[in-house]
Structure 1
Amino acid sequence: MTERELEPISLGRAKEMYLEARKHEVSESTLSGYHYRLKHFVRWCVDEASIDNMNELTGRKLQEFKTWRRDENGLKPIKLRGQLDALRIFLRWCESIDAVEKGLHDKIVMPVLKKDDEQSEEILRSEDAEKVLAYLRRFEYTSRWHVILELLWHTGIRLGSLYSLYVSDYDSEKERLEIRNCPDRGTPLKNGE
């Protein structure tokens, strides 16, 4: 059995097809994330590497992209890893449509993360949160910011889940919130239902 020939396709077209194929499988925010992460790769291929056909991609080219992306804006290792993960998934899909050689996605060498790289430096410490909450409870009780911080601090929900809440989602008798996926109201949840 011989391997099928690669079929020429531009990077932009491959990305469009990929996003269209994933449209009904993932949430809008996930799709938007794929678009954002892949646009850097497409930009590098076209502007920096003069690649206009997916068939031209090689392991060496992928390493050059990784180095360029890391050095371009001092991208943190955790962000670089996220972008390379998205690229690997995209390339695996490209393999399925004969746009790149089989196994190309495995040629991306992922950055090794240190414990410090895996944590965000932007965290709200407990003592700071308690001070802010004490202030809000005393001087801005039930203000928008007070409610937002109380909900985020005590539940740990995603911002998208917070954004999706309506007053009717609160059950005062049971003291519960109901988080619902409502794309028709413009408040879809990241992971759908």
Structure 2
Amino acid sequence: MNGINLGVKKNINGFTLTEVIVVTAIIAIVASIAAPSIIYWQRNLKAKQAARSIVSTIREARERAISTNTQYSVQVTPSSNEYVMKRGNRRYNTPFSNFSTVTGYDFVIDQSTLIRGGDCISMNNLYVQANPNGSLTLNTPDMTTTVSNAMLCVSSSSGSERYAITVLKSGLVRMQKQ
């Protein structure tokens, strides 16, 4: 029976037009269902990355202050969605005007992410000074009052994901999902 053709034709030329249209329609339906989830996930990921970046910058400023025996500061400005690490020129009591920006530590956060005060509404700036003894000095925006702890809120523009950054005078900095 080898080599004998019984009149049965096998279609080995490819797919029919109907099959291609059905598969394309299924792919389109799945993509339209998945797209909003992917966009939501991406926005939330940006907020989480921004919060982690602020926390690591404050921690790095503290580590640098300890290792170099010089004050460092991190200035968070919610109104422009940016934060910057600065280096002082003294061990303690460095006037704010004597801090200079550390190269490579001037960050602007994507506009799909919002930085606010601890209540997730206020636009108050936060000034964190890292001291050589490992403590953090937290100042009010006018630099006249030192506070014992401070909180920042980083959220996606939709507000669906919020991360609270807590900064304590003792030097503890932590991030927590709200």
User: Shorter-normalised TM-score: what interval?
Assistant: under 0.3
- Which structure shows the bigger proportion of residues in helix conformation? 1
- Which structure shows the bigger proportion of residues in strand conformation? 2
In our comparison, the structure showing a higher alpha carbon Rg is 2
TM-score (ref. length: structure 2) = 0.21
